[in-house]
A and B are shown apart, each in its own frame.
Chain A
Amino acid sequence: IQLTQSPSSLSASVGDRVTITCRASQGISSYLAWYQQKPGKAPKVLIYGASTLQSGVPLRFSGSGSGTDFTLTITSLQPEDFATYFCQHLNGYPYTFGQGTKLEIK
């Protein structure tokens, strides 16, 4: 199963709302997770089951979708949100990742 993320990079300002999409090459039900990664650090889970917010993750993060099309939305961007975001499917091995979306400050 291939995951295609878009855009690959994105410039935005503090306070903006941004949406990142992830499309699967075949249906994966809701077996999709979103991760945030900062330079030199391990990824951190934000969303699992396509739309369930991980404990401790701010409410400005949300996920939606099922089947083949998924979105990660961040409302009211904060300075600490500028990072790279990856989607990952967990609907059978191999658990592939999207290629990533680098979110940069405009």
Chain B
Amino acid sequence: QVQLVQSGAEVKKPGASVKVSCKASGYTFSNKYIHWVRQAPGQGLEWMGIINPSVGASTYAQTFQGRVTLTSDTSTSTVYMELSSLKSEDTAVYFCATYNWKSYFEYWGQGSLVTVSS
């Protein structure tokens, strides 16, 4: 069965960077694009970007341009989301999700809580 397993919770200071991993299993890694979405406490869902894991090509939301980097490691079927210059407003749960070509997010990771606090 398809699974996306994300890395654990992180606590970071303002100005630091965080790197969250999303390890895929149960399907051919290169066959599904992966999106990242975040959710601040008690808030809605915010799309961050997408990566084609087979070639590493990515597209980012304008809001995060210059601060977010998505990378992939085909040898371990893992996608990474790195967010830099962290602010308190970046405190959120970060999700990875696979894209289904019928246009929806099909499988989701369990989420990774990132807390930014001095």
Q: Which A residues are CB-close (under 8 A) to B30?
A: none
What separation, in Å, do the CA atoms of A86 and B39 have in the docked complex?
12
A45 engages B102 (CB within 8 Å): no
Q: Which B residues are CB-close (under 8 A) to A77?
A: none
B45 engages A86 (CB within 8 Å): yes
Tell me if B117 counts as interface (CB < 8 A to partner A).
Answer: no
What separation, in Å, do the CA atoms of A97 and B104 have in the docked complex?
12
Question: A33-B104, A48-B103, A95-B35 are known contacts. Are A43 and B50 too (CB-CB below 8 A)?
Answer: no
Q: Which A residues are CB-close (under 8 A) to B100?
A: 48
Candidates A33, A42, A48, A95; contact of B111 at CB < 8 Å = A42
A86 engages B104 (CB within 8 Å): no
Tell me if B26 counts as interface (CB < 8 A to partner A).
Answer: no
User: Which B residues are closer than 8 A to A by beta carbons?
Assistant: 35, 37, 44-47, 50, 59, 61-62, 95, 97, 100, 102-106, 108-111
9 smallest A-B Cβ distances: which pairs? Answer: A42-B108, A48-B104, A33-B104, A97-B45, A90-B103, A94-B61, A95-B47, A100-B44, A99-B44
